[in-house]
Structure 1
Amino acid sequence: MKRNILFTKMSGAGNDFIVIDNRDGAYSFLGEAEIRQLCTRRIGIGADGLLMLEGSENHDFAMRYYNADGRLGSMCGNGGRCIAQFGWKLGDAAKKELKFEANGNTYFASVLADGEIKLNMLVPKDFRDAFSVDGHECVFVDTGSPHAILYVENLDETHVVEIGQKIRHNQEHFPGGTNVNFVQILSSEKIRVRTFERGVEDETLACGTGAVASALMSYRLGKVSAKSVCVAVQSGDLLTIAFDEEMQHVTLSGPALEVFQGEVSESFWHK
């Protein structure tokens, strides 16, 4: 039976999420159509995705991530940081280290002194150096989600949605689809990124796994030299990607903020 929903709206460097505490299973009725309705801007709450916090036997909690289209998504870095902040506030305030599971993987998160959240990411895989897609030179890496990367001279003049949409749906190179990142190198330790996200099917103000992919590939290609890369995202916020030489230990740090709390009325479902 559909019912009222208590939720928290959160922002991870501009990625916005509906976050729900479902440890008691009360909101398990939410399916693809309902989640899409909640995430639709102007007629719903509006969000890039929905995060469900659920119980776990061996971890502090489990995270289930849904894209704005209502479908289960792969890993979301900024969503992971937001649900870590959310989970921390539900638990022991003195406990600054959290362990949670998502898609069968274990993630570790830390609450930093400035309130930002640091998240340990998966080991990157499937590096692909330069190849051409629809006339654009791309590189690729999977950082928990698949990411194509294009380097540009001027991000402000780049047609992110138009180009991103074509590459995202290129079945020859990306049978399962891909996120598409456009990267401008600012210095040896700073880059700027704009991302077209699959599942949202539009540009978002930030993408955590995309920021990680862009930083790692920029280091791999010698475009930056620092192993702690500052990533400026479209919201104006900054993310920090730190990693070792072999890229086996990767962290994503940045803001994860509660925006507001609310309740969706049962009558919403009768539209």
Structure 2
Amino acid sequence: MSDWDDLLGHAFGLLLGQPLAEFDAAGTYAVFYYDDETAGEALEDLDPGELVADIDGRSGDQGGDELYPDRWVPDLARSAFVATEVRPAALQPLLTVTTDDDRALVWGRDIGRALQAGSLSLDELTPDGYRLFPHLLLRPRTDGSLLDAMRAATWTMSAPDGLSDIGDSLVRDGYVTSEVSVVDPRWESALDQVGDDALRRHLRGLCLDAHWARMAGAYYLGPGECPSDFGPIAALPGSKVIAGWEFGEGQGAMVVMHLSEPSVGSHG
């Protein structure tokens, strides 16, 4: 491991409340992201080939220093599609889980295969205002390790490049003075132990208090906390929530999940 892998691993352990080495190494760690502005629109431009493609390897960074999903390399085959009611008959046998609130989950690869086989058409996936049709829970490419899942979840894939300082931006834009902390007090002491100043400032932007997270950065729910959007994934046999974040006023969310599935490179 590189020095930066060591530095990141230590920082992630602080946020998760225990060293990464103490987490179960079996199964796969993955990130899922939800954004209510794009989750349905993504269906309109689906390429069946992308839905069945194996996207293996460590997390990638497509550039920038914003906390945006377009920096990730998407893994659509293993992304999840969730709906409150699934109308297309071709999707019925593909459903992986149905939760108590009648949300069902279909994996991207299964949708892609149905599209390629002609048993499902893109027209049948057109979203509506009530999310009765599947909406995307985007999964970025990672190598299956907890370290790499946390890299993607914190946008530190190319650290020390690509780091941001949201707290400083709020000061420069006149929202707060430099003496005011915008970080959730629950995470201040953990963040103070992060050894690199730039990394510490970057991670602080992912642990803002509930007020400031409405307009910038993210609100860290904490270890084991799952945003409601990811309930169908959390309900999968063998799944375990590692950590969750929320963005804005409920418009977006992200979760790191331990899944009972083969590691990257060995899935079918």
Give the TM bin, normalised by the shorter chain.
under 0.3
TM-score (norm 2): 0.25
Which structure exhibits the higher relative contact order, with contacts defined as CA atoms closer than 8 Å and separated by 6 or more residues? 2
TM-score (norm 1): 0.24
